Each structure stands twice: as structure tokens, then as C-alpha cells.
Amino acid sequence: MTVRTAVALTTREYHPFEAAGRRFVYMVPSAAVFGLDETSAAVLDALGERRMSADDLADDLADRFVPDDVRQTVNELMQVHAIGEAGVLQEPMSRQMPPTPFPLTTMVLNVTNQCNLSCGYCYEYGDDKIVDTENGAQPKFMSEETARQSVEFMLEESRDIETVNLTFFGGETLMNFPVLQKTVEYARGRAAEMGKGIRFSLTTNATLLRADIIEWLADNDIGVTVSIDGPKEMQDELRVFKGNGRGTYDVVAPKVRELLRRHKSRPICARVTLTRNVLDVMRIYKHLTEEMGFWEVGFAPVTSSSSRDYAIGDEGFTAMLDQFNELAEDFLEAALENRHHGFSNIKDTIEEIHKGVSKAYPCGAGLGLMGVATDGDVALCHRFAGSDEHKLGTVESGIDHGLQQEFLEKHHLANKTDCHTCWARPLCSGGCYHEAYTRYGTTARPNLHYCEWIRSWTDTCLRIYGELAERNPGYLAIFDG
């Protein structure tokens, strides 16, 4: 006999979405994705905003479903926390801290803070800069000695990690090519001695690429990311030479083509900064992949305070989102046929959805990733390198674990109360620290100015994920592991 129960139930946190004619729920905060059948979809619909008991629901749906089936569905939905007892307080947000000491997996080495370009939006030179790289006390170029110390620091702080990542950054990285070259050689030798693997990558504006440099990058398996904003008129809008202010496209394009022709040992990626007048995502993507030959293209809206004339306004965000959605459809078409597609933004997010990542921190900054300034100061990430306020140690003395712990406690998602009612928080977790610092003057604030955008984009990614899960689940195997 079934015991009648009057326990009132309500829905809990999840985000519903539809793909390939099927309904799904993205559970919050577990980040699990479940596919619904007719009964579970009907139960969630019937419950809606109301309070009903399992018996009420069984009665309500009796014309379409067997009551015991409804009760079982209610039970399943309760087990995954899609519904729960009304009036029972939900568990407070977990404040579980990462294990300490947390191993370093990626070190970003700012080998110089100088650049031969003066891109209007650059966070290192523009109006929103954090560190004075012109008149500040820091050396303009990292010395070979500091670079070596940094390598030792990285290998030491990586602890049991088998393979570490060393990324060179700037300024314009290639302005300190001699130190870069020697550091790669040194790091490779030291990693081998310690029985560790090491991967190298760098970001460059491509203006200083030469045949011999390209040769060296290819021979040494250095992953290359090129900062480039698209076709000539878009690239030349803000990516200009220092001094004469002339656009860089005509210099950059042939060098990039040569790089892509010669360097095949690692995928070469483009990194695009979107600004008010450079928002034609589809055209930029087609130009950089089909016409130039980049393997992947990643887009990021410019980080700036809202008053800058290159900042993207609300309308711009809507336009950008429409184009991201269009490119996402393009990606889906390719993925359904198991073809490569180079829209890296969506791949990154779909990988996180596939794994069910639920983050307490938006990124690895200050955790598994740190940035090193030219003087050897260690900060949250490359964007804060050289900032005393965001310093976590030095390569000489190591990580200050007290400071790191303080940072991690302060920036835990549990403290970002604005995020606690948002279904996108397992993936967003408040967003970029640097973006928050530029907008609100503190890394601890969630980036409330782009919440709508994040939710909409996450919804798109979930939908694309659902389509793939239904129509070509084999494709998702590339994200396993």
C-alpha cells in the first residue's frame, strides 16, 4: 500500500533547456546534465512555481501517467535535487577550500613589459593599466637570471605534477627573444633532470616574427597564440604601432602566413579582442581561419571601464551574442560531421559542461596558475604581474602561502552572494578577476555587468551540448578524460 503523504514539494535550482527535440536540465550547483523523459518533464511542468505533494502530482497527472510512475519520478527528481521539500532550507553554499599546498601547473612569464605597439585598449598601456611599466621601478626586460629563478620556482612549486606549462608573455614577448630562447633551453634541461614533462607556449603580436624565429619556434614545439583582431580595417582600428600610430595588418599578415606555413608541430591560435567597432565575429572568424589558416580562434570582449570609447555597450553585447550564436551553429554543423572547427570559446565551455565542472573560482589564477613580472614578483596571473596589491610571492622566496590562502578565502564563490541565485554560477563563478578590478576596483566583486550575456551564452553552449549528446555523442569523446 502506498502511504499518503502531504509533504509539500517545490522545484529546486536547475536550468531547463531543449535540444534535438528533447528536454534537459542543467543542475545547480552540481553541474550535472540529465535528459528528461515525458514523465519527468510533466512533473517539473506541473510543479512549476507551486507547492504540491507527490500525491497531488500523481492526481494532477493521472490522466496521462500511472500514479506510481509519477511517484517514482518525483523520487528520482528529489534524489538529484531537482525538487525538494518546501520550507526546508537548502544547504548553505559549500565553502570547501582547495587542498594546500596547491601545485602550480602553469606559469606565465612576462619576459618584458615593453611593446612595440600601442593598442588603444591594452590593459598594460591603456587608461585602465594597473602597473606603471614606463616609469615604474621594474626592469623593462626580464634578466636571464630571473628567468632561470622562475623556472626553478615553477618546478619546485609544481610538486607532484608530471607535466608543467610555461607560457611566455609580455609586453611583446619577442622583444626579449634572447632570454626566451635561453629560458626554454634551461627549463627543458632542468625538467628532464627532475623527470618532469614541460610544454612551452607564447603570445605575440607577430610583428617581430622572422624566418629564424619561426624556425626556432617550430623546432622547439612552442605553441603560439597570435593577438590579432581580424581583417585589415579591424586590425588597424586599434592595433597600431607605437610612435607613428600606423596600422599593423600589412606587417603582420605575411609574417603570420609564413608562421602557419612553417610551424606545424603545435596548433597556432588567434586571439581576438572585441571592441565597439570590431564586433563582426563571423567575418573575423572566416578571415582568420579560412583566409589565413589559423587552427583556432578565441574571442574576448575588451576589458575596460565602461566609459572608454572602445568599450562595448549593451547593444554591442547583444550584437556580439547574436554572432556568437551564429558561429556556435556553425560549430555544431561541423561537430555533427566530426569535422574540426576552430571556435575555441565554445569548445572550452562544452568541455566544462561535459565534465560537469562546478567551480568555486572563475579560473586558476592564484591557484594552479601564476604570473611572474620582469623583476621576479609572482602575482595572481599575467594581467596582474608587477602589481604589489596582487602579489603572492617572489620567484626567489616562493609562494607566500599565507597570502595565497587569504586570497582564496576572500574570493571563494561562497562570498559572492550576488551569484548565489544564478544558475550559471558553476561555470562562471563571478568571472575574470582582472575584469572585476577594472570595473569595480576590486578582484573580489563578481562581474555583474555581463551576467545576462554569460547566462545567454551558457544557455547556447548547453543547447549545442544537448544537440551533440543526442545526435553525435561519439564526438564528445574528445572531451573525455
Partner 1 sequence: MKHLQPINQKAGKIEHYLEHDVVALSGQPRGYTVPQQPDSPHIPMGCSLVFSPGWEVDRSGGTAGLCQPVERDLFDCHLGCFWPAHVPDQLNHSPDWTSKCAAAQKDWRSLDIIFP
Site residues for partner 1 per CB under 8 A: 2-7, 24, 27, 30-37, 39-40, 54, 68-69, 71-80, 85, 87-89, 353-356, 358, 465-466, 469, 480
Give the residue with the Cβ less far from partner 1, 10 or 318: 10
- Residue 414 CA to residue 394 CA, distance in Å, equals 29
Give the residue with the Cβ less far from partner 1, 77 or 228: 77
Closest distance between partner 1 and the C-beta of residue 202, in Å?
32
Asked if residues 392 and 165 have their Cβ atoms less than 8 Å apart, the reply is: no
**Residues 6 or more apart from 307 whose CB is under 8 A from it?**
none
Closest distance between partner 1 and the C-beta of residue 460, in Å?
16
The DSSP string of 179-226 is HHHHHHHHHHHHHHHTT-EEEEEEEE-STT--HHHHHHHHHTT-EEEE
Give the side-chain half-sphere CA count within 13 A for 17.
Answer: 22
Closest distance between partner 1 and the C-beta of residue 52, in Å?
14
Give the residue with the Cβ less far from partner 1, 185 or 348: 348
Closest distance between partner 1 and the C-beta of residue 2, in Å?
6
How is residue 95 written as a grid cell?
Answer: 565553502
Cα angle value 22/17/331 (rounded, 5°): 85
Closest distance between partner 1 and the C-beta of residue 85, in Å?
7
Question: Which CA distances in Å does 97 have to 67, 75, 102, 408?
Answer: 44, 32, 10, 8
Closest of 144, 178, 80 to residue 152, by C-alpha: 144
Give the residue with the Cβ less far from partner 1, 79 or 244: 79
Closest distance between partner 1 and the C-beta of residue 431, in Å?
21
Closest distance between partner 1 and the C-beta of residue 423, in Å?
15
Closest distance between partner 1 and the C-beta of residue 87, in Å?
5
Asked if residues 219 and 272 have their Cβ atoms less than 8 Å apart, the reply is: no
- Residue 321 CA to residue 329 CA, distance in Å, equals 12
- Residue 281 CA to residue 285 CA, distance in Å, equals 6
Rg over CA atoms, the chain: 25
Cα angle value 365/376/436 (rounded, 5°): 30
Asked if residues 382 and 364 have their Cβ atoms less than 8 Å apart, the reply is: no
How is residue 246 written as a grid cell?
Answer: 600606423
Closest distance between partner 1 and the C-beta of residue 11, in Å?
14
Give the residue with the Cβ less far from partner 1, 58 or 259: 58
Give the residue with the Cβ less far from partner 1, 71 or 445: 71
Helix 451-471, helix 314-336: angle, nearest 10: 10
Give the residue with the Cβ less far from partner 1, 317 or 331: 331
Give the residue with the Cβ less far from partner 1, 6 or 137: 6
Give the residue with the Cβ less far from partner 1, 25 or 104: 25
Closest distance between partner 1 and the C-beta of residue 427, in Å?
12
- Residue 52 CA to residue 177 CA, distance in Å, equals 68
Asked if residues 222 and 189 have their Cβ atoms less than 8 Å apart, the reply is: no
Give the residue with the Cβ less far from partner 1, 99 or 473: 473
- Residue 117 CA to residue 11 CA, distance in Å, equals 54
